[in-house]
Chain A
Amino acid sequence: MNAPDRYERFVVPEGTKKVSYERDTKIINAASFTVEREDHTIGNIVRMQLHRDPNVLFAGYKLPHPLQYKIIVRIHTTSQSSPMQAYNQAITDLDKELDYLKSAFEERISRKLRRVDMEY
């Protein structure tokens, strides 16, 4: 009865921003990013990428409630960097890695298909 519609999982409503940012007032170099309409698929991958950055002291994500379709990513960094920088860096690196993966796949698939064609 109270369950939200299924398309709420991925459609960002008008007026809501996809990502919002909140600095932590009590700790320096700490912030939370709230990403709307995303889930573990993106959360886990961003968190793992943030862990590879040596400037990041703490990186974690959570889904505050399974029926609220958003994730909160919390980042603490050293003074060498800032959470915003770390977040952007992680996302850029993931973007590049996925592009690389995609081209690797396409190359492999075309190679496989060509080999199959040659057999005939």
Chain B
Amino acid sequence: MEGAGGGGSGGGSGVSYQRFPRVRIREMKDEYMKFELRDTDASMANALRRVMLSEVPTIAIDLVEIEVNSSVLNDEFIAHRLGLIPLCSERAMEMRFSRDCDACDGDGECPYCSIEFQLNVRCDSDQTLDVTSADLHCHDHRFLPVDVAQRALAAEAAGGYDAPEQRGIIIVKLRRGQELRLRAIARKGIGKDHAKWSPGATVTFMYEPEIHINEELMETLTHNEKLSWIESSPTKVFDLDPKTDQVIVADPEAYTYDEEVIKKAEAIGKPGLVEIYAREDSFIFTQKLDAVRLSDDIQDNDDQFGDLTRNIQGAAL
């Protein structure tokens, strides 16, 4: 990537004010990811967070046709609950949005923009029957509700054991003689439209703190004063090195930008004992998802950005 040269289609100066962000992934699991973003601006980090929450497309049930419902919950209640069930959305990028799909007339039969689920449960025993997300059946096995897919994997790993607590997300409970029969159509959507399509349970970022301890001033504190100063921080940021009796930084990222340690330092008469400031160009992202898709796919939302900027620019000319 060159820094100079290659100005925009309307620009004539030929100089680019582009930044070159760096990423470092700290942890990456199926539904959790922690990474660092450096050399970019807070607006970029915030935009990334906003897009992860609201503009990454996923799949959720959008249209429900109820044939029989004799349960205690009414139709729209059940339809609402069905919409909130997370579905495996790994194929979401290949699907089209229902409003963009010209191959169908929007009734849910089209293979390009919708997926059909069936639910057919009747309680015939005296025990209460739980209708769960495991009862949602689809002909295409790539679209299982998320927890069902997870348990299938876990069951393989554990040799087929299925604990009763992990039966899936409960939709409704049925008594003897009550029945629920419906057909549900899932579509692609984004979180901006309705929260059921949001993939991220939580996405947060924090500025990386830079901590400087004034060593000379620290020397003037007694051992007990050092301990009480370390204790004044609600999170464990500092620690006392037992061998040298020095205050060291145990975990800079545990610092939550409360200034308790600074206030305590002033209270004991030693202002300027420590200086903590947030580095303006370094962010640590933590994201936890509904395991709707692998967290690394979420980064592909940068695609959205690319389209948007081209859109904004092209139309202006």
Contact = CB atoms under 8 A, between A and B. Distances in A.
> Is B truly associated with A?
yes
Interface of A: 6-7, 9-11, 17-19, 21, 33, 35, 38, 40-42, 44-49, 52-53, 55, 81, 84-85, 87-102, 104-106, 108-109, 112-113
17 contacts: A6-B193, A18-B311, A33-B316, A38-B312, A40-B50, A44-B47, A45-B41, A88-B9, A88-B10, A90-B17, A92-B11, A93-B18, A98-B305, A101-B23, A101-B40, A104-B21, A106-B299
A42 B299 CA distance: 17
A52 B17 contact: yes
A18 B316 CA distance: 8
Contacts, number: 145
Given A49-B17, A93-B17, A18 B50 contact: no
Does more than half of chain B's interface fall in helix, strand or loop, or is it mixed? Answer: mixed
A19 B21 CA distance: 28
Contact of B25 (A40, A52, A109): A109
Given A17-B315, A18-B312, A98-B309, A108 B23 contact: yes
B244 interface: no
Interface in B283-317: 296, 299-300, 302-303, 305-306, 308-313, 315-317
B7 interface: yes
B18 to A, nearest CB: 4
Given A48-B41, A85-B11, A97 B312 contact: no
Nearest to A6: B193
Contact of B299 (A9, A10, A45, A109): A109
A88 B21 contact: no
Interface residues on B, range: 35 or more
Interface in B33-67: 35, 40-44, 46-47, 50-51, 55
A102 B40 CA distance: 13
Nearest to A92: B8
B277 interface: no
